[in-house]
Amino acid sequence: IHAHEVMQQLHFHAKEDPAIFMGGFNFMPDSPQYALVASGQQALPEAFAHGLAKLEGLEPYLAPVAPQGMRSAFRACLGEEPPFTSRSWTSSRYENGLGPFVGTLDYVWMSEGIMAAWCEPLPDVGVTLPSTEHGSDHLPLMAWLQVPLAQRAKAAPSKNEDAPMMVDSQLVGEMDMPNKFDTWNPQYSKGAETAEIQAAQSNWGPFGNGGVVRTTRPFAPSDPLIPAEG
């Protein structure tokens, strides 16, 4: 239900704009929630869906939330999701002697038209998280994405056509290196078909553990480069 409502809100606010949706979702790649985000439709076995429809008030959650789903940046880059983004203990697993949880719970989702040019490989962590090197029980994700400028400009034209713009709290333009947050090269050109942005997902920051931040103000080359926090 939560995934269904979040996807409805995302598509309601994004409309025809390119959208990036990232964070710690706490569902696995083989879950119905993952399939819902990826397809735009509730992925339920027919028998289960039939039973759910009998429950008063839950019928709307069987309806499609979008004409098409979103794509995972890491699956687009690597052909599959990372082996895990979280390796941590839970009280129930500890008490029952099951060992730490190891699985993928974090994603960078892209709407149609956005391309994943590069994804930062995740470190091979052999210890449980958090640790002395990793302050969260989830590993951060970083991706280098290409956004269609023509689609964005049509949806929300900038008053200053020569100025770089921010989309979903990320810079639209070209940056010097995909693994640096501190340098901005103003190489945006009028009429460009695509622009590159850096998307970062972590589990701390003013926006909490997941969410979409939309900003469309002109962005000056002198402004500091601030990564989005998932």
Asked, for residue 93, whether it belongs to a domain, the answer is yes
Cβ(142)–Cβ(198) below 8 Å: yes
Asked, for residue 50, whether it belongs to a domain, the answer is yes
φ, ψ of residue 33 to 5 degrees: the values are -65, -40
Asked, for residue 105, whether it belongs to a domain, the answer is yes
pLDDT digits 0-9 by tens, 44-66 = 655 555 555 565 666 666 666 66
| Non-local CB neighbours of 67 within 8 Å, separated by 6+ positions | 40
pLDDT digits 0-9 by tens, 83-106 = 888 877 666 666 666 777 888 999
Find the domain containing 150 and state its range: 2-201
Q: How confident is the model at residue 4 (pLDDT cuts 50, 70, 90)?
A: confident
Asked, for residue 224, whether it belongs to a domain, the answer is no
* Amino acid at the residue 141: L
pLDDT digits 0-9 by tens, 153-192 = 554 544 444 433 333 333 333 333 333 333 333 333 333 4
Asked, for residue 229, whether it belongs to a domain, the answer is no
Q: What span, in angstroms and rounded, lies between the C-alpha atoms of 133 and 145? A: 27
**Number of domains observed in the structure of the chain:** 1
* Amino acid at the residue 223: D
Asked, for residue 43, whether it belongs to a domain, the answer is yes
Q: How many CA atoms lie within 13 A of 182 on its CB side?
A: 0
Asked, for residue 210, whether it belongs to a domain, the answer is no
The DSSP code for 138 is: B
Tokens of 197: 């942005």
Tokens of 19: 């959208």
pTM as predicted: 0.60
* Amino acid at the residue 202: S
Asked, for residue 188, whether it belongs to a domain, the answer is yes
Q: What span, in angstroms and rounded, lies between the C-alpha atoms of 75 and 40? A: 17
Q: What span, in angstroms and rounded, lies between the C-alpha atoms of 187 and 125? A: 37
pLDDT digits 0-9 by tens, 208-217 = 343 333 333 3
